[in-house]
Structure 1
């Protein structure tokens, strides 16, 4: 019986093992940590954001800053609808939330982990944890996998290690070109009076732009203890991952907290002023922001919150609107977004055959997951790439 060694016990590795024909192969998963499926466990705050309700491959690829062209053919064969069906067949109920993210009904990532553990157990897949791969050698028609727990011979290798520098070095030594990995999905570190003591304040729809890179994104925004986060920031961090690394994470960002052009905001302000001249500016709910944030805007704009709105000068109004609609911040670094660390970079996509995720350089060698130079914005898309790639590998091997 031919031996398949899966290196990496994460999403791609387990999904592949779960779909392989165990009557055809002896399957072993090697995982360097003491626990498997660690990213699945922490995803979505421990609820596991399995995938995203986007069922048109052409729309789906728009969420991938790197790998979008290559993934089109992959998603044409296995997309989020297929992922939902796969779990449904295994009695796992999934639900689509308002923002189209998909979670297990149980709201627990353990449901997803248990499903994979059951599948591989049924198939008698051997799972070896604390098994660190040190080197892979090509030997005639096979591969010798050297680990801290002894050597393994493989007829086929599925390389789904994630993007650790060590795992990228191993595959580089086999001849693959590596695009230097840089962090994707991260939050921005900003020290600014407007954000001080505002952690936890959120905005339903904000606009962010980095003038130097001529790039902009919109979406929900969150003030954190160290700066700014939320989809509006995470999206821009993913799309501009490589450029921001080159800037060493020091750059200017402009934020429009209320997603209104400054002229439109001025009209709303003037209209409110005419209708409520006697109200104090501090008590005026002119824009859709929290009261705490409004008081902070007035403080930063140097406007007395007890002043009647009729007495607000044109200069004071401009100052308020500038801080709301065109506030510039200096970013001085980044922070990892939760534990869901994602990287841009990895194995060069030109060296992969996307019909079956096989290496164009190494025979009987397949590559999937984050070790590839593919990454997505937050929302279940990174997992979907893993499921789809792993499914293609399993189909290819089952049909040999």
Structure 2
């Protein structure tokens, strides 16, 4: 029961650490302890079962911009290992990847099982021991040795890597060892909205700009992030329960703590035509009153906006189906401009995004030496992946955090042990 390195957590970060360490030091005895019956379960369900491995951004600083928590701390690690390195790593092991139009990177097989099989094959080939149904009850350090206790076994090791994600029990264990913890809150979720303007539009997706406001109609996060001054641009997907899509999910990540603090009772303002200049848009609408004078407003949109959405916004502007552009009053035009550029929707709750559940929170980043991913206070203890207060928007960025942390921790361990 004596090992050179014990990795707690059989997910993406844990396996990547183990494999990279074993590839450099095949003389080491490495053990992965997984509390569940299966390993790599989050890899299995990610990306709708396709596994969004990483994202096609190949410079460190632009890549960090997709991490609401970790934006500063990841800059150094990304100079050592990031998206291009991830692609090369999998290519070396015979896993072909592809870049989709939106920048997301998937295995060419479009199956997460390809990634799982790669990890399991490598672990077996390199002699990494994997033990499932082994929840860790305690980690104790005696002199220079860690004692890792489960219900049935006690394992000893010179080093321990914690890669358990947002596991609350493990976070409490680390807090009892003196590491500072940031409370966890959801960070990637959709907005619950009950509004007749979108009631019958489920499945409709369109580009938009979205801004956040509190219940007093004051902007949320003003000044905290540059991203919040002008809102977020990105496709918005209307669902049966409200709104989702990249634009909404990005907001949910960046404003995770503020939205949790207001108990997910807030409002959003949606600009359905972000490509148009705001200052001149009113004049443009007034010109349509003459250019399209004989056309019925309701029947055809003069903008690149889905027809069903256009009709709902026209009705919400108190413009009846029979009215022509020439019939529109000044007040009607103002209401139409408001619906198109600043439509306000009340959000009353949230829903999990697909099967994926990401949290903001975990071990305070000040506790970690990001050159090695070792805890500053506890020699020999390393933390990688979502156990740290690092999270990202959707698109493969959370996995890239796991790959980067696992690789750097493995490099450090290979030299130290």
User: What TM-score, normalized to structure 1?
Assistant: 0.96
Q: Which moved more, 1:308-317 or 1:237-246?
A: 308-317
Deviation string, structure 1 residues 89-148 (Cα, Å, up to 9, x no partner): 011111111111111111111111111111101012111112111111112221111113
Equivalent in the alignment of 1:233: 248
CA distance in structure 1 between the aligned counterparts of 2:27 and 2:373, rounded to whole angstroms: 20
| 1:31 corresponds to | 34
CA distance in 2, matches of 1:399, 1:168: 27
* 1:300-379 alignment runs, 5 A limit: 300-379=316-395
Distance in structure 2 (CA, Å) of the matches to 1:49 and 1:149: 36
The alpha carbon displacement at 1:373 in A equals 0.8
Structure 2 residue 222 is matched with structure 1 residue 207: no
Q: 1:264 to 1:108 in 2, by over 3 A?
A: farther
Partner of 1:277: 293
More deviation, 92-101/309-318: 309-318
C-alpha change, 1:264 and 1:284, in structure 2 (3 Å) is: farther
Pairwise mapping of residues 81-230 of structure 1 onto structure 2 (< 5 A)? 81-210=84-213, 211-214=219-222, 215=228, 216-230=231-245
Query: 2:205·2:235 contact (CA, 8 Å) conserved in 1?
Result: yes
| Residues 13-34 of structure 1: per-residue CA shift (max 9 Å, x gap) | 0111111135221111111112
Q: Secondary structure at the match of 1:120?
A: helix
| Greater mean alpha carbon deviation, residues 309-318 or residues 156-165 | 309-318
Q: Deviations over 1:268-297 (max 9, x none)?
A: 433433232222112222122211111211
What SS does the aligned partner of 2:74 have? Answer: helix
- Does the 8 A contact of 1:37 with 1:113 survive in 2? yes
CA contact (8 A) 1:204 1:219 kept: yes
- Asked if the contact 1:208/1:255 (under 8 Å) is kept, the reply is yes
What aligned pairs does 1:280-291 form with structure 2 within 5 A after superposition? 280-291=296-307
C-alpha root-mean-square deviation of aligned residues, in Å? 1.6
Distance of 2:277 and 2:168 partners within structure 1: 44
Whether the 8 Å CA contact 2:166–2:387 is kept in 1: the answer is: yes
SS, match of residue 366 in structure 1: strand
Shift of 1:346: 0.6
Helix, strand or coil at the partner of 1:6: strand
Partner of 1:398: 414
Segments of structure 1 that go 5 or more residues without pairing to the other structure are none
Q: Secondary structure at the match of 1:341?
A: coil
CA distance in 2, matches of 1:243, 1:281: 40
Query: Which residue matches 1:255?
Result: 270
Partner of 2:10: 9
Look up the SS of the partner of 1:195 in the other structure: coil
Deviations 1:44-95 (A, max 9, x none): 1111111111111111111111112111111111111100000010111111
How many Å separate the matches in 2 of 1:128 and 1:200? 43
Rounded to whole Å, the distance in 1 between the matches of 2:393 and 2:302 is 33
Q: Secondary structure at the match of 2:173?
A: helix
Change (3 A) 1:138 1:294: same
Deviates more, 1:21-30 or 1:67-76: 21-30
Number of residue pairs aligned between Structure 1 and Structure 2:
400
Tell me, which stretches of 5 or more residues in structure 2 are unaligned? 214-218, 223-227
The reply to whether residue 53 of structure 1 matches residue 56 of structure 2 is yes
In structure 2, distance between residues paired with 1:78 and 1:111: 22
CA gap of 1:306–1:149, structure 2 versus 1, over 3 A, is: farther
Partner Cα distance (1:241, 1:230) in 2:
16
How far, CA to CA, are the matches of 2:180 and 2:342 in structure 1?
42
